[in-house]
Amino acid sequence: MTTTFGERLLELTATRGRLCVGIDPHPSLLKAWGLALTADGLRSFSQICVEAFSDIAALVKPQVAFYEAFGAAGYQILEETQAALRERGTLVLADAKRGDIGSTMAAYAMAWLDPDSPLAADAVTVSPYLGFGSLQAAFELGNRYAKGVYVLAATSNPEGVEVQSNTNASGVSLAQQIVDQAARVNATHAQHGRAGNIGVVVGATLESAPDLSQLNGSVLMPGVGAQGAGPEDVLRLADGVQHLAIANISRGILKAGPEISQLRKATLAAAQQFPPVVA
């Protein structure tokens, strides 16, 4: 059977730690790094990140919006960046947060998950708020090509609570419904004791998390570092599935740039806080 995205991620985290490093070329960071707010500045920023992260981080997450802000040139640089990272042995998560219906969702899925696409990544983030079933095309390609699909479930932004905490007639929160439906997509792999391709996003800054015990997929946990969460929050919220919980740090590491040696030092120090956990 084809190795799943979940299994590939577990293999890398076993040696590199349970860390996802974000590439967020925010204008303030470009300025702090002494780079121009131009496509050339964006390319330099991205190339530095590739050199710093590609062989030591298990998962690297370019924030698509910051590339999109530069138009066609930005997308070209994103293509180059993702390809370079993947060629050097790390897994790439495109933080695109796509969500739509029908043929439009199918096109989004092809853009980020089809191996022949110029934008091909190892995983993509998606939004379920047009209905979980609207993401079916992404799930199908994820399972076909062993690519990861991270569904927003309980996010770290404070505005998300008013939506994600709403309950259905049975008293189950929307966030829990999303996790449960993701678990059903992973069920076939779970039957064979394998981590599936479908993951969820759960903020490390939350007071409590949905029940993740049946997910059998990766849990991406943003909010670590600059937003205030730490290793103890990741362990607490991912109780019982810590081996699948991946801490996401972006600004907390990027502020160490632009020197590659300092970025690597910050990445390795962060990874030590999230060592492999035996299932």
How do residues 197-215 score in pLDDT, each as one tens digit? 999 999 999 999 999 999 9
Q: Does any domain span residue 197?
A: yes
203 domain residue, yes or no: yes
**pLDDT-based confidence at residue 279 (cuts at 50, 70, 90):** confident
Give residue-wise pLDDT tens across range 54-63.
Answer: 999 999 999 9
Residue 9's CATH number: 3.20.20.70
Tell me the C-alpha distance between 78 and 127, whole Å: 21
Q: How far is CA 67 from CA 75, 94, 112, 229, 272, in A?
A: 6, 11, 15, 27, 30
Reported confidence tier of residue 266, pLDDT bands at 50, 70, 90: very high
Whole-number pLDDT of residue 227: 79
Q: Is the pLDDT of residue 77 over 70?
A: yes
The span from the CA of 7 to the CA of 197, in Å, is 8
Give me the pLDDT at residue 205, please: 94
pLDDT of residue 111: 98
Residue 129 lies in a domain: yes
- DSSP letter for each residue of the chain: -PPPHHHHHHHHHHHH-SEEEEE---HHHHHHTT--SSHHHHHHHHHHHHHHHTTT-SEEEEBHHHHHTTHHHHHHHHHHHHHHHHHTT-EEEEEEEE---HHHHHHHHHHHH-TTSTT--SEEEE--TT-GGGGHHHHHHHHHHT-EEEEEEE-SSGGGHHHHT-B-TTS-BHHHHHHHHHHHHTHHHHHTT---SEEEEE-TT-SS----TTT-S-EEE--BSTTSB-HHHHHHHTTT-GGGEEEEESHHHHTT-S-HHHHHHHHHHHHHTS-----
pLDDT value at 244 more than 70:
yes
Cα 244–chain centre separation: 12
Structure tokens at 173: 């929160």
In a domain, residue 278? The reply is no
What angle in degrees, to the nearest 10, is found between the helix axes of 39-53 and 260-272?
50
Q: Are 185 and 139 in contact (CB under 8 A)?
A: yes
Residue 258 inside a domain? The answer is yes
As given in the structure block, the two tokens for residue 144 are 């076909």
- Which listed residue (31, 61, 97, 265) is catalytic? 97
State the average pLDDT over residues 115-122: 98
Catalytic status, residue 97: yes
The string of DSSP codes covering 92-143 is EEEEEEE---HHHHHHHHHHHH-TTSTT--SEEEE--TT-GGGGHHHHHHHH
Residues 32-75 pLDDT 10s: 999 999 999 999 999 999 999 999 999 999 999 999 999 999 99
pLDDT at position 278 is 81
* Mean per-residue pLDDT, 117-139: 97
Domains held by the chain: number: 1
Residue 228 — very low, low, confident or very high, per pLDDT cuts 50/70/90?
confident
Does 279 fall in a domain? no
Give the range of the structural domain holding residue 238, as residue numbers without chain letter: 5-272
Q: Chain-wide mean pLDDT for the chain? A: 96
Name 149's bridge partners: 124, 198
Residue 277 lies in a domain: no
Q: Taking residues 92-115, report their average pLDDT.
A: 98
What's the mean pLDDT in 97-126?
A: 98
Q: How far apart are CA 203 and CA 247, in angstroms?
A: 9
Of 226, 201, 228, residue with least CA distance to 24? 226
Q: Alpha-carbon torsion 132, 135, 137, 142, what sign?
A: negative
pTM of the model: 0.97
What is the predicted pLDDT for the residue at 225? Answer: 82
What's the pLDDT score for residue 1? 63
